[in-house]
Amino acid sequence: MKRATVSLVLTMFSVVAVTGISMGQSFEEPVNRVIDTDHKTITVTKDIRYKEGGSDAWKLDLAMPANIGSGLRPALVIVHGGGWRAGSKSVDVYQKMMVDYAQQGYVTININYRLLDEAKFPACIEDVKTAVRWLRAHADKYQVDPDRIGAYGHSAGAHLAMMLAMAPESAGLEGEGWNEYSSMVNVAAAGSPPTELGRDMPRAKEEWWPIGYIAGDHPPLFLIQGTEDSVVRPELTKDFVDKMKGAGADIKYMELEGGHGVAYNEQLDVTEPALEEFFAKHLNPEQ
């Protein structure tokens, strides 16, 4: 199987919260605010702990329609990028996406996870899986349909979002917390997605990467790749897509002119509506 090194840049991200909501500090009292926009009123709760313990990374933000009614809603899990060493749920791109999808009827969670300076691989995978299990454990509270949960990430976050859709419990990547619930999402989209690492890299274990789970029975996937991406090589992404299609997987692939910022801060006039259409098709926010 072909391998080549994927190096991830860490300088793409500015940490600016678009909502202007102050950050809570405790597990017992997360900050809850209402945002009233020209579209729909939503509530945003900051810094909810999805796992108790010593790490300050085990927190998420949650946004949802304020007048949700009595029905269940689909959920979207947003996973930030940053080369597994940097980045945050507070980056403006992810804050905006969280709010936008809540206005469309989703319950959205925007999660942090332990970075490499704090914990070695595969801790980041374990953390995002724990966050999904937390969401299912609290599905009744937030009126979430546990069978309509999607994930989106860019760059390192794309890798983690794909692992939420592809790595089963038997992979041994679950971590601890809410383990009576499933960590698998029902659909996932990924921008500039690292599907594998070079063979000589210490984090190149196949079971830690989507390339290790080629099969036809995964949830629907949508991958977006820039033709001039010098961080995640387009030929590796296309090779992964070809292998998945050969296995009979439901996978959509969009390749656009541009670099690593495709679906992050480049070509958004194309990628944003494509992502919205993809999630609406599979998660039915108006159901």
Instruction: Say what the pLDDT of residue 34 is.
Output: 61
What architecture is the 31-283 domain classified under in CATH? 3-Layer(aba) Sandwich (3.40)
- Do 130 and 50 meet the contact criterion of CB atoms below 8 Å apart? yes
Per-position b or e across 226-258, b if 16+ CB within 10 A of its CB? beebebbbeebbebbbebbeeeebebebbbbeb
Domain boundaries, the chain: 31-283
Q: Which of 29-33, 92-96, 171-175, 202-206 has the lowest mean pLDDT?
A: 29-33
Please name which of 185, 134, 181, 180 lies closest in space to residue 160, comparing C-alpha atoms: 185
Could you report the per-residue pLDDT of 15-61, keeping only the tens digit for each? 223 333 333 333 344 556 665 554 479 999 999 999 999 999 999 99
- Do 231 and 6 meet the contact criterion of CB atoms below 8 Å apart? yes
Strands 41-49 and 31-36: antiparallel
> What is the distance between the alpha carbons of residues 178 and 107, in angstroms, rounded to a whole number?
19
| Helix segments in the chain, DSSP class H | 92-103, 123-137, 139-142, 156-166, 234-246, 268-283
- What tokens does 174 get? 């679950």
pTM confidence score: 0.87
